[in-house]
Amino acid sequence: MDALTALVNALNLRAKLVYSGGVCGRWLMDHNSDTSVWFHLVSKGQGWVHSPSRETPLALESGDLILFLPHAPKHFLSYSAEHLPCDAADTRLTGWAGGESGFVCGEIELATPRSLLWQALPAEIVIKKNQAGDILAKLIELVISEASGQRFGSDSVVERLCDSLFVLVIRYCIEENLVGVGVFAAMQDRRLATVLGLIHQQPWQPWTVAELCSKAGLSKTVLSEKFAALIGSSPIEYLSAWRLQIAAGWLKEPGMSVERVAERCGYDSVPAFGKAFKRYFGVSPGAFRRNINTPGS
């Protein structure tokens, strides 16, 4: 199993379909979040992205895809490049056939949105139809076809397809050199990818630097230098951080107590787990869990 597959599987990333259909009128979409990745796929017509990161609004056309990560500045999608409505009062949602423009919109909630893992990706990821490449382009077409068909189970199918869409977007960022530092950049190094794959796939293994070096065919010095340069930590520090990110995801699950998460993570005691968790995230596991379950948090 490669490093990216193991990472995605461990984090249990899931897309949630928020809107699928047409829009008319002087429409406005305000989908901003500091905890979720938002994605917008244009199925027909046009739309414009208004963002402080751009000097002029960005035109999106049928087949184009844009994603906004939690660290993206506040932005809007609008019917016009020249006019940005003050609210969505004039937005008219329609069926697929009736809209002047059509969208598939959704979000992927991140347990640790402020993690350097996600911060290393571009805040706004734009993939134009002619840039997508064969596999991603085919998947985009399949998402649009399934969403617009509105057959039994279509929404569920679209959500699962969008899970794959997000993985392909990450791969696109890696292959197009859109990430210069961080874990995704390190995956471009074959031997570092081997180490990351081991860590991501077997996080509870009591790895030592010597064992990781042996598996990857690297010296301790080279491995440490590469990790420091690209990831900003030692391999063991990254392993500890990765375990805590998985723990944060478990804390989001209904019925999962702090005590149970600590046990699953292999900590000798809840206080030991709490101390490590607070050192990494700045809050206790209990506070982290309460914030997740607080409406509007």
- For residues 113 and 185, give the distance between their C-alpha atoms in angstroms, rounded to a whole number: 18
Residue numbers of the domain that contains 228: 189-293
Give residues with Cβ within 8 angstroms of 287, minimum separation 6.
none
One domain, residues 39 and 146: yes
Among 175, 205, 236, the domain boundary falls at: 175
Which pLDDT tens digit goes with each residue over 193-246?
Answer: 999 999 999 999 999 999 999 999 999 999 999 999 999 999 999 999 999 999
- For residues 134 and 78, give the distance between their C-alpha atoms in angstroms, rounded to a whole number: 29
- Whether 183 is covered by a domain: the verdict is no
Distances (CA, A) of 197 to 3, 5, 171: 4, 8, 15
CATH number, domain of 77, equals 2.60.120
> Domain total for the chain?
2
Classified as helix, coil or strand, 20 is strand
Looking at the DSSP assignment, which residues form a beta bridge with residue 19? 105
List, as one string, the DSSP characters of 205-263. S---HHHHHHHHT--HHHHHHHHHHHTSS-HHHHHHHHHHHHHHHHHTSTT--HHHHHH
For 279, the token pair is 């050192």
* Banded model confidence at residue 293, pLDDT cuts 50, 70, 90: low
Which pLDDT tens digit goes with each residue over 84-102?
Answer: 999 999 999 999 988 999 9
